[in-house]
Amino acid sequence: MPKLEVLGESGMDRLQTIAAFISEHWQKSDDQEMALALGLSVCTVGIIRRLLGFKRRLGGCRPITRPVVVLDETLIKQVETLLPTQDNRSIVATCSVPAKKVVDLRREWAKAFIQANWQKMSDFQLAEATKMRPSWINWYRRSIGLNRRVLERLLSASIQNRLDKTDLADALHNRGVTLEEYIELRGLKVTKEGLRQAAHNLNIETNPSARTASWYAHRYGCPRIADPQIFRQLYDSLGGLGAMSQSLGVDTYVLQRIGRMHDLEELWRRKSAGKVIKRCAICGATFTRPKRKDGTRNNPEQELHFCSRVCHGRYLGRNFGRTRHKK
Ligand SMILES: [Zn+2]
């Protein structure tokens, strides 16, 4: 192709020359070749070509050929062994392989890795192991239908049949064990949510409200206070919750909670001084007053008692003031 002498021409003339050249050659040459001949950048040629309406997708152009990099098998093997341990940049530096090829190889390897390990690892763990982005891992996993929720359901269904129902219920309600700890304890291959669903299907309550005093006693390292009688004995002999807490090494609020579950709250509740029963002078209803308040009143000569402000108001209305009832 002859190199055009476009330099020296001015403005519109030059543009027209370029346009004429592109319309003549765009079907036979690619932008790179025309750019070389015109002394312009590939981008500029592409822009002018498209402005002239010569779009590549309309056909008629020669397909652009890119040089194909052929790598021999041993080099690919070498790259593949390095993929888990090194990032792309250092592989390119050590193996003299085109960067794009390394990226492609890593992507293919990561896909196989995800398919093999997605059930055991989270997306973030997969991302760390394959040195890919977590968002890509997530996208790829979903794009081939590897759904974690479905997996969860399948796992919990299979775990359900292998669980020891009484053992699980005992652990969750009496032995101070949480769902997560139970998985550790029995070496189950299931997530916390999976176990919760399995327990739900087996009618085992997993809500913390189902925990008994024994659960808390085990949880805080003092199983013997799970027995209410021993709890009471300790309380009496040591002389209070604070002393118990000191001697057992268990927080006071935990002891309070356990005691309340044993119905021993009366141990540390202040006792009531007692009540006095009175009768209302208006409606005749009986009501109580604290004993310590009996006899303390503004008008000691007054013998009448009233159950409420309403009854007191009625009494005042009937006996005093301008509107009092006439006999
Ligand atoms: Zn009354």
pLDDT in tens, the chain (327 residues): 555 555 455 667 888 888 888 888 888 777 888 888 888 888 888 888 888 888 777 655 555 555 666 777 888 888 888 888 888 888 888 887 888 888 888 999 999 999 888 888 888 889 999 999 999 999 998 888 888 888 777 777 778 888 889 999 999 999 999 999 999 998 887 888 888 988 998 999 999 989 999 999 999 988 999 999 999 999 989 888 889 999 999 999 999 889 988 888 777 777 677 888 899 999 999 998 888 888 788 888 888 999 999 999 999 988 888 877 665
Ligand 1 center from residue 319 Cα (angstroms): 16
Neighbour-count burial of 276, counting CB atoms closer than 10 A to its CB (0-12 exposed, 13-18 middle, 19+ buried):
middle
Distance (Å) from CA 318 to ligand 1 centroid: 14
Q: What domain range includes position 186?
A: 150-211
Domain-terminating residue out of 267, 283, 302? 267
Rounded-to-10 torsion of CA 52, 55, 61, 65:
120
Contact 165, 202 (CB under 8 A): yes
The answer to whether position 224 is within a domain reads: yes
Beta bridge partners of 252: none
CA 287 / ligand 1 centre spacing (Å): 9
Tell whether 158 and 131 lie within a shared domain: no
Q: Is 43 part of a structural domain of the chain?
A: yes
The domain tally of the chain equals 5
Q: Is residue 184 part of a domain?
A: yes
Q: Is residue 159 part of a domain?
A: yes
Residue 133 within a domain: yes
Residue 218 lies in a domain: yes
Distance between Cα 281 and ligand 1 center (Å): 6
The whole-angstrom separation of Cα 212 and Cα 181 is 17
113 and 127 co-located in one domain: yes
The CA 322 to ligand 1 mean position distance, Å, reads 23
Same domain, 110 and 161: no
- Assigned domain for 23 exists: yes
Give yes or no: residues 158 and 204 share one domain: yes
What is the Å distance from ligand 1's center to 323 Cα? 21
Contact in structure between 275 and 291 (CB atoms under 8 Å): yes
CA dist 21 and 25 (Å) reads 6
Asked whether residue 27 is domain-assigned, the answer is: yes
User: What spacing in Å lies between the alpha carbon of 254 and ligand 1's midpoint?
Assistant: 45
Distance in Å, CA 272 to ligand 1 centroid: 25
Sign of the dihedral defined by the CA atoms of residues 204, 208, 214, 216, in that order: positive
Q: How many helices (H) and strands (E) does the chain have?
A: 17, 2
Query: Are residues 219 and 205 part of one domain?
Result: no
